[in-house]
Structure 1
């Protein structure tokens, strides 16, 4: 499956290099676009769940790396829960 790495910049200006086992993430996130933290988490959850399901269809097991990535996104996002109008910027997609 075509893996994709994507870089995001969090509201505190820190960055994360994220992973998706499928290009489906590109259907939910756009490079150069800012998303509210809750919207970014929701979009990531949908895309990474679809990606994991695609791995399961092809290989017979869910992608634990996709679910680990989602957990990491959710944990990081939790630290910004109290900030109103906090935005996440999608900086880049890179094939692996």
Structure 2
């Protein structure tokens, strides 16, 4: 096996683009919680109907229900983030 002549260990440094100092992580966390709580409320309201729809799946009904809840959570999380950005806009630092 041959090695290149310039085989030196390079240190990794993350790219400088989109690297805002003091970036606030509160909004993404609130968006995540808002989407999760909304998904939980929708799940509780629609659980009887979802159980009827998932019942033909037999043993996979619980898996289908979990996948449905996860996609609902991601959709509502994204909807919350987009709505917040449209209403109050991006905060500039």
Scaled to the shorter chain, the TM-score interval is: 0.3 to 0.5
TM-score normalised to the size of structure 2? 0.32
TM-score normalised to the size of structure 1? 0.31
- Could you say which structure has the higher strand fraction? 1
- Could you say which structure has the higher helix fraction? 2
Which has the higher Rg, Structure 1 or Structure 2?
A: 2
